[in-house]
């Protein structure tokens, strides 16, 4: 096994352990309750909310937890803030991946990702992945390994996360009592957005498959 691969696997295992420990030792409901208590003090709430978005990847919470909070506090007008937060909270994993390097196991993963985005286009491919009911941070990490530019990363993330964020904010606005227990997108929305992702990605991937099949058969 290459030295770079061993180092990358060790780093991934260590990071995964930190995330797992954070997820087990912290409660979304408790954190949201503390943030809610600060809502009447904007000078404290704004930095606390920013910290929540930046630290969310370390505890593996869904982005919808913070979207629901903003919807509960401010209603539908919070959508732009929640969307900006969704882009922000996806950025640490992306930046970390861009510093990982192109050697070893992650280098091969980056090659696979570059092939995917070459077929779909950077913004279209990332938008489609974000529309799928996938954990946001592995998608961000894959985008970083694939070498997506920051501008295309931000645009693709914003477009793909928008339906999820709007749903979370509207759900929060409809709650009478703030809670994130059991909060999540309903099955119809998940199916609808997954189908939309297939429509976004299906054509380019099918064309790429046909091209590669033609190359392999000589036709």
Instruction: Choose between 216 and 165: higher pLDDT.
Output: 165
Nearest Cα residue to 163 out of 121, 196, 201, 119: 196
pLDDT tens-digit readout, 150-184: 999 999 999 999 999 999 999 999 887 776 665 66
> pLDDT band at residue 209, thresholds of 50, 70 and 90?
confident
Distance CA 191, CA 132 (A): 9
Token pair for 100? 């990982």
**CA angle 137–141–147, rounded 5-degree value:** 145
Q: Give the pLDDT band (50/70/90) at residue 26.
A: low
Gap between the Cα atoms of 208 and 119, Å rounded:
6
DSSP 106-135: HHHHHHHHHHHHHHH-HHHHHHHHHHSS--
Cβ contacts of 193 within 8 Å, gap of 6 or more:
131, 132, 133, 163, 164, 185
pLDDT surpasses 60 at 214:
yes
Q: What percent of the chain has pLDDT over 70?
A: 78
Q: Identify the top-confidence range among 38-47, 57-66, 125-134, 169-178.
A: 125-134
What are the pLDDT digits (tens) for 76-135?
Answer: 999 999 999 999 999 999 998 888 756 556 667 778 889 899 999 999 999 999 999 999
Q: What is the spatial distance between Cα 109 and Cα 16, in angstroms, rounded to a whole number?
A: 18
Averaged pLDDT for residues 68-72: 93
Query: What is the pTM for the complete model shown?
Result: 0.84
């Amino acid at each position: 096994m290459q030295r770079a691969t061993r180092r990358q696997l060790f780093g991934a295992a260590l990071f995964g352990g930190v995330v797992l420990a954070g997820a087990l030792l912290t409660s979304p409901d408790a954190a949201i309750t503390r943030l809610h208590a600060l809502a009447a003090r904007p000078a404290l709430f704004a930095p606390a909310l920013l910290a929540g978005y930046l630290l969310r990847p370390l505890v593996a919470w869904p982005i919808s937890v913070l979207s629901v909070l903003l919807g509960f506090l401010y209603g539908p007008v919070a959508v732009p803030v929640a969307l900006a937060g969704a882009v922000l909270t996806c950025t640490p994993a992306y930046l970390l991946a861009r510093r990982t390097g192109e050697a070893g196991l992650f280098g091969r993963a980056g090659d696979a990702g570059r092939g995917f985005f070459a077929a779909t286009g950077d913004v279209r491919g990332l938008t489609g992945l974000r529309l799928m009911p996938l954990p946001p941070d592995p998608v961000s990490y894959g985008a970083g390994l694939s070498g997506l530019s920051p501008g295309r990363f931000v645009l693709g993330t914003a477009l793909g996360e928008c339906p999820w964020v709007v749903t979370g904010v509207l759900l929060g606005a409809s709650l009478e009592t703030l809670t994130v227990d059991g909060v999540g997108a309903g099955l119809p929305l998940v199916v609808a957005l997954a189908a939309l992702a297939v429509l976004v990605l299906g054509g380019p991937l099918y064309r790429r498959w046909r091209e590669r099949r033609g190359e392999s058969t000589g036709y």
